[in-house]
Amino acid sequence: MTLSVEPIADPGAPLARRNPVAKLGAALLFMLPLILSVDPFAPSAALVVELLVLPFFGIRMRLLARRLAPLLLTAGGILVTMVLFAGERTGDTVASLGPIDVTTGVLATAGALVLRIFAIALPGIVVFATTDPTDLADALVQNAKAPARFAIGALAAFRLVPLLGSEWRALTLARRARGVDAGRNPLAKLRLFASTAFALLVGALRRGVRLAVAMDARGFDAGVPRTHARVQHFTAPDAVLLAAALLTGLAILTLTLALGHFNPIIG
């Protein structure tokens, strides 16, 4: 198992090369108005806008599709759950599966939920796919004034994540070599999984401690103001991106209200 941490987009694309903090901020500002309402109109409009700006991120569609695959699974799960367990079954009956009536109302609610998930997740996926983790940490420290202790520390920990995959494999094999396997017993499987996970955690903690000591030995806790070897610029186009994201999000919200689709999440 290796985690793909490298950006999967053309780094020269007009929006991909914006400041990481601007991209992250834009994604958040755009999403905020969307979560206020549970109607199907707002996420649909947002998805349209997102698909329109997608080409400017220079992302390759096949790779994006692969990243979206887990979301499709989630969407399927939601659809099934709603059809089986929805309390309100308004609207016309589309099909009857034994005791379960599939109605238009149920399908509409489920559809709105699925749309929301995609509309909210897509900006985040695009931002992380087009952003180098090192650049993000640098920009968080330099432009968003995040503490280096947090941003660089998280970055260093992130570097150890791919190791967990090979570690897990080694632990699993070693357990088999010791004569420990679960066979077909689901309870034993669960116990084995838990004990392997615990060993993985213990190993990860020990490595984390060693890394922290090595970082401090190189002055990470020196307390003098850090300088920055790689400079991240926050420029006018970045500010424009932020403003545009906020305004578009608000525009969609206004439209939703004006057209009477608004359905507040609270109350």
CB 83 within 8 A of CB 100: yes
Query: Using CB under 8 A, which of 173, 188, 240, 243 touches another protein?
Result: 173
x-or-dash string of contact with another protein, 106-145, rule CB under 8 A: --------------------------xxx-----------
Is residue 250 a contact point for another protein (CB under 8 A)? no
Residue 67, CA distances (Å) to 44, 47, 103, 124, 251 in order: 20, 17, 32, 11, 28
CB 125 within 8 A of CB 68: yes
For the chain, give the number of residues.
267
Is residue 52 a contact point for another protein (CB under 8 A)? no
Is residue 183 a contact point for another protein (CB under 8 A)? yes
End-to-end CA distance of the chain: 45
Can you tell me whether residue 145 is helix, strand or coil?
coil
Burial class (CB in 10 A: 0-12, 13-18, 19+), 210: exposed
Alpha-carbon torsion (9, 14, 16, 17), positive or negative: positive
* Cβ nearer to another protein, comparing 97 with 222: 222
Is residue 211 a contact point for another protein (CB under 8 A)? yes
Residue 107, CA distances (Å) to 48, 71, 238, 266 in order: 21, 18, 40, 21
Q: For 32, how many CA atoms within 13 A lie in the half-sphere containing its CB?
A: 12
Rg of the chain on CA atoms, in Å: 23
Q: Which stretch binds another protein (CB under 8 A): 63-71, 86-94, 210-218, 248-256?
A: 210-218
* Cβ nearer to another protein, comparing 32 with 171: 171
Q: In the complex, what is the shortest distance from the CB of residue 139 to another protein, in angstroms, rounded to a whole number?
A: 14
Query: Using CB under 8 A, which of 28, 180, 244, 246 touches another protein?
Result: 180
> In the range 212-241, which residues lie near another protein by CB under 8 A?
213-220, 222, 224-231
> In the range 185-204, which residues lie near another protein by CB under 8 A?
195, 199, 202-203
Residue of 162, 159, 152 whose CA lies nearest to 215: 152
* Cβ nearer to another protein, comparing 174 with 265: 174
* Cβ nearer to another protein, comparing 5 with 95: 5
Query: Using CB under 8 A, which of 60, 159, 189, 191 touches another protein?
Result: 159
Is residue 67 a contact point for another protein (CB under 8 A)? no
Chain positions contacting another protein, by CB under 8 A: 5, 132-134, 152, 155-156, 159-160, 162-163, 167, 170-171, 173-181, 183, 195, 199, 202-203, 207, 210-211, 213-220, 222, 224-231
